[in-house]
Structure 1
Amino acid sequence: MRKQYVLIGLMALIVQLAQAQFTLDGQFRPRAEYRNGFQTLIPDGADAGFAINTRARLNAGYQTEAFKVYLSIQDLLVWGENPQIIPVDANNSFAIFEAWADLKLGGNWSAKIGRQVLSYDDQRFFGGLDWAQQGRNHDLAMIQYKGDFILDLGFAFNQDLDNNGGPLFGFQNVGTGYPNNNPFQYKTMQHLYAKKAWDGFAASLLLVNYGHQAFDTNSDPDGVNSLFTAGTHLTYKKGAFGAAANAFIQTGEFFNGSTDVGGAYLLGLDLTYKTSDKVTLGAGVELISGDDASTTDKTEAFIPTFGTNHKFNGFMDYFYVGNHINTIGLFDVHVSANFKLSDTSSLMAKVLNFSGDQELPSGEKSLGTEIDMVYSKKFKGYALKIGYSHLFAADGMYELKGVAESAAKDTQNWAWAMLIIKPKFLNTAK
């Protein structure tokens, strides 16, 4: 009798799958890193760090004519972090990375609800942060239109159901005064994204307002400190030539609620030229406004809050990757070259020169020069990437990081190797 129930269940599942599309895939991504100056200057006499970690993901999608549901679970495994035979994960890294439903509302309209990735344009302000093994996601509801143009309207309200009191229904003042001791964890967010493409040209508009629960003693403890960002991304391509530009402005209140933000901006321009089928050259500049130290109750420093910041301003992550917030800003001038070595391999080389938008207390602006190189190779069913970066620090970098030049290593570098495997377990799509 039990076998009959199993057969009936399997037959019902087969019928259901025949009427819908079901996908099951995954990702296995181990990465080894040698850090000898990554994110900050390593002191002289300190040993370089070396570690291996792995991202393991399992993704499932289910789609009918009326809706689509997607679930992505992941764990981050640092090799050797778990003692032998320990019954639980040492760093508690197992998580649901995405869990959303996309409901069709008729015509070109839909509603996407749940935990999801926001990734727009070149990911300068909103990105999935795929380089980081944990990635970046958002819990929100979004109305979308996809037709001759794209429109997203998103709304988020983060809360703690374990707390029953207060107009904001949670997020208590703990530690630093930020939820979960994380100043980037917002309380509320509303955003609008619109994009239109023409022949060879595309333009997008992004408006974002996000708020942090106010914990400053001079403000309403149940209020929200809001920061508003408006920006555009423009792209142009004709023949071998390509161009991309970013322009953002920011105003409102800083995380702590006691500092106003005004006159903050980000401007960027990148040009590419394909000299042949095998070589593409690039050049660009980016200016991110910094804080004028002469004003104590106001900051002009721009924050690219939710972007994939590892992609910009050098792969060694000295700027805007959990650091360099509300400081002297950045002026980044860079050139690059991409070489197609074969049908399955390529090499990217990039040189970046950094200086501050504002002066350091010493009057210094120059921060240094970085060289980034990435080799990529595709094999049958998997891919390999190998990278090397080297920083030539200037006087300003030592001052910025609070390390005397005499106390820092002569060599500041970083190297990594990453294997990427994306198995396709099941796909019932017709």
Structure 2
Amino acid sequence: MKKIYTYLFLVVGFTTTLKSQTIDVSADLRPRFEYRHGYSTLFPDGADPAAFVTQRSRLNIDYQSELLKVMFSVQDVSTWGDTRQILPIDGNDSFSLFQAWAELKISKNWSTKLGRQSIAYDNERIFGGLDWAMQGRFHDAALIKYQNSSFITDVGFAFSQTSQQNEGTAYNVPGFFTYKTMQYLYAKKTWEKASASFLFLNTGFQKFDENDQADGVYYTHTVGSYFKFPIATVNISGSAYYQFGKAYPINTNLNAYELMLEGSYKPQNTLFAVGFEILSGSDQGETPDKSFFPLYGTNHAHNGFMDYFYVGNYANSAGLNDIYGKVVFKTSEKANLLTSIHYFAANGNLSDNADAYLGTEIDLQYSHKLMKFATLKVGYSHMFASESMSLIKDGRPHDNTNNWGWAMLVINPKLFSHKINN
């Protein structure tokens, strides 16, 4: 708390020197109940389903002037009941700093943004804020940004270290695709009804020798594009990415790709969409040198809500062919119902010449805006797994019921807003 008070004092003091500033304070509270009976992997024999409530409690402070933007966000992410009552401190270490960044305006079109920040682009396939996960996703990075009315360019840099050291730069913080160094270039051009973007991402991972001593850095490169444009009344969107360099974490040569194409049509209040996505994969049992992984995106939004693929799992895998369709019905002025179906198949060859078909998933999600600052969301998903799904899910049985239900209340009021004109 002392750090928060110090930060507020500095912000308030700085405001006296500028002509026009705004300060906004908002909250983000979202308790979510989940019933898991085969979520993210096949349900085993003889097990009991899981049920729990998790909650995000986040406080956001935003400051903005002509020359400076500052964002400060702290959060607690915990499961109801995970800390014993009347403890003098939170015993589960659930409190964290989510964002703390400053963006300085250099000129009319140029700025620089430094600090802990969420990075999200396009459909959030490669870079995403991961808002579905209670903790979200952040990067400790520095950005150089250019923007005009129809074109933006971001150049980002990151260099991660375990702690402040006197010798060496060995980096051993655990985590899925946790990088030691990162550089990227993102550019996007927008027309009246269309847009196209380009991304080049270089991520470096610490390499260790057989004695667990730091032994250099190996790099994974991702390059590609995302686009949107209309054809008459149909909106087309798609992406194409290529990965090369070295594969994480096995340091072998990588040659992988992702392709996606979707068409959507919205007559009046109903949205219809069909599409496919291909993520290349390696043959099971062979060197995983053809397995694409979407890195730092919001992967929950792709390939089904049950998170069987690429949500902290399925790296160096047989890949995925996903054919899907979805319909979003507007059930009232403040509510809608999303229904989607996914047909999943392995992209690479499975062991024992097994059939490539993995399963079919059905997702339902109902959203109702109860008031200006509160939305109720309820979801149900069901996976109809094939026998081949067992081959990529540690041999678990495919014929048990695999379903998942959840209900979440998103409460995000603006607590305070003040504009200063000096």
TM-score by length of 1: 0.90
Secondary structure, aligned partner of 1:38: coil
Contact 2:282 2:349 in 1 (8 A): no
2:302 corresponds to which residue?
312
Contact 2:200 2:222 in 1 (8 A): yes
The corresponding residue for 1:249 is 242
Cα deviations across residues 81-120 of structure 1 (Å, max 9, x unaligned)? 0011122223212111000000011120000000011100
Task: For 1:266-345, list aligned pairs within 5 A.
Answer: 266-274=258-266, 276-293=267-284, 295-296=286-287, 299-345=289-335
Opposite residue 82 of structure 1, the aligned amino acid is T
Structure 1 counterpart of 2:47, one-letter code: A
Cα distance in 2 between the residues matched to 1:233 and 1:86: 50
* 5+ long unaligned stretches in structure 1: 1-8, 172-178
Give the equivalent residue in structure 1 for 2:207. Answer: 214
In 2, are the aligned partners of 1:33 and 1:52 still within 8 Å (CA)? Answer: yes
Report sequence identity in percent. Answer: 43
The Cα of 1:409 is off from its aligned counterpart by 5.7
What is the distance in 2 between the residues matched to 1:295 and 1:13?
A: 59
Aligned to 1:213, what secondary structure does the other structure show?
strand
Q: Using the alignment, how far apart are the partners of 2:345 and 2:242 within structure 1? A: 20
- Deviation track 1:145-171 (CA, whole Å, cap 9, x = no partner) reads 0103000000100013333212xx242
Deviations 1:399-420 (A, max 9, x none): 2213353xx5631100000101
Change (3 A) 1:24 1:368: same
Partner of 1:90: 91
Counterpart amino acid of 1:285?
F
1:261–1:216 Cα change, 3 Å: farther
Kindly indicate whether residue 361 of structure 2 is the aligned counterpart of residue 370 of structure 1.
Answer: yes
Matched, 1:379 2:390: no
In structure 2, the CA distance between the partners of 1:304 and 1:252, relative to structure 1 (3 Å rule), is same
2:347 corresponds to which of 357, 368, 383: 357
Match of 1:193 among 163, 186, 195: 186
The letter for the 2-side match of 1:332 is: D
State the 1:257 CA deviation: 4.9
Instruction: Please tell me the residue identity of whatever aligns with 1:389.
Output: S
What residue is the counterpart of 1:174 in the other structure? none
Assess if the C-alpha contact under 8 Å between 2:202 and 2:221 holds in 1. yes
**How far did 1:291 drift?**
1.3
The aligned counterpart of 2:153 is 151
Cα-to-partner distance string for 1:361-407 (whole Å, 9 max, x where unaligned): 121211000000000000113110000000000011022213353xx
Is 1:388 the counterpart of 2:380? The answer is: yes
Whole-Å separation in 2 of the counterparts to 1:326 and 1:202:
32
- Are the equivalent residues in 2 in contact too, given 1:164–1:170 (CA < 8 A)? no
Please give the alpha-carbon distance, in whole angstroms, between the structure 1 residues aligned to 2:338 and 2:360.
17
Q: Give the conservation status (yes or no) of the 8 Å contact 1:310–1:317.
A: yes
2:6 is matched with none
Q: CA deviation at 1:183?
A: 3.9
Distance 2:70 2:296 in 1: 24
Pair 1:123 & 2:111 matched: no
Separation (CA, whole Å) in 1 of partners of 2:211 and 2:395: 35
Match of 2:162 among 160, 163, 178: 160
Quote the Cα distance in structure 1 between the aligned partners of 2:261 and 2:211: 41
Give the conservation status (yes or no) of the 8 Å contact 1:28–1:54: yes
CA distance in 1, matches of 2:335, 2:147: 35
Aligned-partner Cα distance in 1 for 2:417–2:329:
35
- Aligned residue number for residue 346 of structure 1: 336
Instruction: Decide whether the 8 Å contact of 2:270 with 2:327 is kept in 1.
Output: yes
Question: Structure 1: which amino acid aligns with 2:277?
Answer: E
Is contact 1:292–1:299 with CA below 8 Å preserved after alignment?
A: no
Give, in angstroms, the shift of residue 349 of structure 1: 0.2
Aligned length: 407
Bigger mean CA offset, 50-59 vs 250-259 = 250-259
Q: Give 1:160's aligned amino acid.
A: T
- Asked if the contact 2:56/2:135 (under 8 Å) is kept, the reply is yes
Which secondary structure does the structure 2 equivalent of 1:415 belong to?
strand
Cα contact 2:375–2:409 (8 A) shared by 1: yes
Once residues 146 and 191 of structure 2 are traced to their aligned partners in structure 1, the CA distance between those partners, rounded to angstroms, is 17
Question: Do the aligned partners of 1:143 and 1:154 also contact (CA within 8 Å) in 2?
Answer: yes
Give unmatched runs, 5+ long, in structure 2.
1-9
Aligned partner of 1:38 in structure 2 is: 39
Q: What's 2:30 paired with?
A: 29
Q: Distance in 1 between matches of 2:83 and 2:212?
A: 44
**Contact 1:248–1:266 (CA under 8 A) maintained in structure 2:** yes
Asked if the contact 2:227–2:237 (Cα under 8 Å) also holds between the matched residues in 1, the reply is yes
**Structure 1 residues 223-253: Cα deviation after superposition (integer angstroms, max 9, x where no partner):** 1110000010010135531111010000011
- Measured in 2, the distance between the counterparts of 1:281 and 1:151 equals 32
DSSP-derived class of the 2:315 partner: coil
Partner Cα separation in structure 1 for residue 15 and residue 247 of structure 2: 54
Check conservation: 2:153, 2:186, Cα contact below 8 A: yes
- Tell me the alpha carbon deviations over residues 264-296 of structure 1, each in whole angstroms, 9 at most, x when there is no partner: 00000111011x322111101000000135753
TM-score if structure 2 supplies the norm length?
A: 0.92
